[in-house]
Amino acid sequence: MMATLWLLALLALARAQEPALPGMLVERRLADAIPLAVGDTVRVRALAGSAQPRPFVVAGVFEREADPNRIARNDYEVRLHLPDLEALLPTHDRVDRFAIVLAPGARADPAARWIESVAFGTRAYGSAALAEETSATFRVVSRFHDAIGIVTILASAIFLLCVMIIRVDERKRDMGTLRLIGVSRRTVFRAVVLEAIGIAALGSATGALLGVLIAQGVNAYYAAVYDTTLKFALLSPRILLLAGLLGLTLGIAAGALAALRVVRVPTERLF
């Protein structure tokens, strides 16, 4: 009995003296693909170099932030402590880039100049400047979207004007009859403009509903493809309000132009 107790005590002491494995964080998508759970042991090595794999313990699972700059690569990610990461790499004391979070109230420009003076060849950028330099592709896409939007607005305005002109021309006799029984030109003008506003409002509401449905479909599809929470299509209340006001403005303009074709024509020529 005493020998068994001594054996158990020795085993417990040996386990207590074993060095604890370093921990690492695994991205949720990678944990689902392998799969991995907290507490699992994995062996990791760098692709560059011939070092032997090192064991790590999965200390946690994290969700990667939705970043459009990384969605094209969409690589899996793990997070290690800096000494553990350096031990895996063939070279030491070398980094491609690193990020520094300043204390509240600290000025970014003096800190950037100090970093550049300490490490020769290092370039320091603020977060706003870095986003500006790396967003050239997104600026091109934004301009392309602006061009598509302008062409769409012009085409919609022309289409609405053609619809109103066709409707007015089809009812010239009715409007001539109204003019003969004493209805003023102002009333006829107002009626045509109100009809155009109604058509524009109905079209704007239908377009907004269609846009919301399409945006939800696009987000659902690409969220499943890339397994991300990034929103690929966004319709904000500001965009919907702007679209509605623009539609009403185009409706008023198209109705006014179409009404002028009628009210300026003498009554006898309407028949």
150, pLDDT greater than 70: yes
182 exposed, middle or buried (CB, 10 Å; 0-12, 13-18, 19+)?
Answer: exposed
Q: Which H helix or E strand runs over 228?
A: none
Most confident range (mean pLDDT) of 61-75, 179-193, 213-227, 255-269 is 213-227
| Interacting residues of 70 by C-beta distance below 8 A, sequence separation 6+ | 64
Cis-peptide, bond into residue 22, ω within 30° of zero = no
Q: How far apart are CA 57 and CA 201, in angstroms?
A: 60
Asked if residue 18 belongs to a domain, the reply is yes
Q: What is the pTM of this model?
A: 0.61
Domain boundaries, position 231 = 136-270
Amino acid letter for position 6: W
Instruction: Indicate whether 165 and 184 sit together in one domain.
Output: yes
Q: What is the mean pLDDT of residues 8-27?
A: 63
Residue 268's pLDDT band, with cuts at 50, 70 and 90, is: low
Residue 18 above 60 pLDDT? Answer: no
Q: Are 206 and 247 in contact (CB under 8 A)?
A: no
Residue 8 has pLDDT above 70, yes or no: no
Instruction: Work out the burial of residue 160: count CB atoms within 10 Å of its CB; fewer than 13 is exposed, 13-18 middle, 19 or more buried.
Output: buried
Average pLDDT for the chain:
79
121 in the same domain as 54: no
Whether 100 is in a domain gets the answer no
Domain end, chosen from 72, 94, 116, is at: 94
Retrieve residue 154's tokens: 């012009």
Same domain, 151 and 37: no
Whether the predicted pLDDT of 118 surpasses 60? yes
Q: Write out pLDDT tens, residues 154-189.
A: 888 888 888 887 877 777 777 777 777 777 778 888
Assess whether 168 and 78 both reside in one domain. no
Residue 221 CA: distances (Å) to CA of 6, 24, 111, 188, 227: 62, 31, 43, 49, 10
Claim to verify: residue 149 and residue 130 sit in the same structural domain: no
Please check whether residues 142 and 117 belong to one and the same domain: no
Mean per-residue pLDDT, 97-104: 83
- Indicate the residue type of 184: S
Is the confidence at residue 227, as pLDDT, over 50? yes
The DSSP-derived string for 230-267 is --SS---HHHHHHHHHHHHHHHHHHHHHHHHHHHTS-G
| In the predicted structure, residue 14 carries a pLDDT above the cut 60 | no
Is pLDDT above 80 for 204? yes
Let me know if residue 99 belongs to a domain: no
Give 50's pLDDT tier (boundaries 50, 70, 90). low
Domain boundary among 41, 73, 94: 94
Please determine, for residue 88, whether its predicted confidence score (pLDDT) is greater than 80.
Answer: yes
140 plus 130 within the same structural domain? no
Alpha carbon separation from 103 to 40, 110, 116, 122, 128 (Å, rounded): 36, 13, 19, 21, 17
The answer as to whether 188 is a domain residue is: yes
So what's the pLDDT on residue 141? 76
Q: Is the pLDDT of residue 101 over 80?
A: yes
Tell me the CA end-to-end span of the chain in Å, nearest whole number.
Answer: 120
| DSSP structure string for 130-197 | HHHHT-HHHHHHHHHHHHHHHHHHHHHHHHHHHHHHHHHHHTHHHHHHHHHTT--HHHHHHHHHHHHH
Q: 200 pLDDT band (50/70/90 cuts)? A: confident
pLDDT band, very low/low/confident/very high, at 260 (cuts 50, 70, 90): confident
Residue 75 sits in the same domain as residue 158: no
Q: Across residues 199-210, what is the average pLDDT?
A: 86
**Is position 60 within any domain?**
yes
Q: Pick from 46, 127, 55: which is nearest to 88 by CA?
A: 46
Q: Which residue has the tokens 């158990």?
A: 8
Q: Which of 64, 94, 124 is the last residue of a domain?
A: 94
Asked if residue 230 belongs to a domain, the reply is: yes
- State whether 16 and 33 are in the same domain: yes
Q: Are residues 121 and 197 in the same domain?
A: no
Is residue 2 pLDDT above 70, yes or no? no
Q: Would you say how long the chain is, in residues?
A: 271
Question: Quick one: pLDDT at residue 261?
Answer: 77
Domain total of the chain: 3
| Residue 11 in this model has a pLDDT that exceeds 50 | no
What is the average per-residue pLDDT within 203-213? Answer: 88
Write the secondary structure of 48-99 as one string of H (helix), E (strand) and C (coil).
CCCCCCEEEEEEEEECCCCCCCCCCCCCCCEEECHHHHHHHCCCCCCCCCCC
Domain contains 16: yes
Residue 271 clears pLDDT 70, i.e. is over it: no
- What is the model's pLDDT at position 10? 38
Question: Would 76 be classed as within a structural domain?
Answer: yes
266 in the same domain as 146? yes
121-135 pLDDT per residue, tens: 788 887 777 766 666
The C-alpha torsion from 211 through 214 and 218 to 221, rounded to 10°, is 160
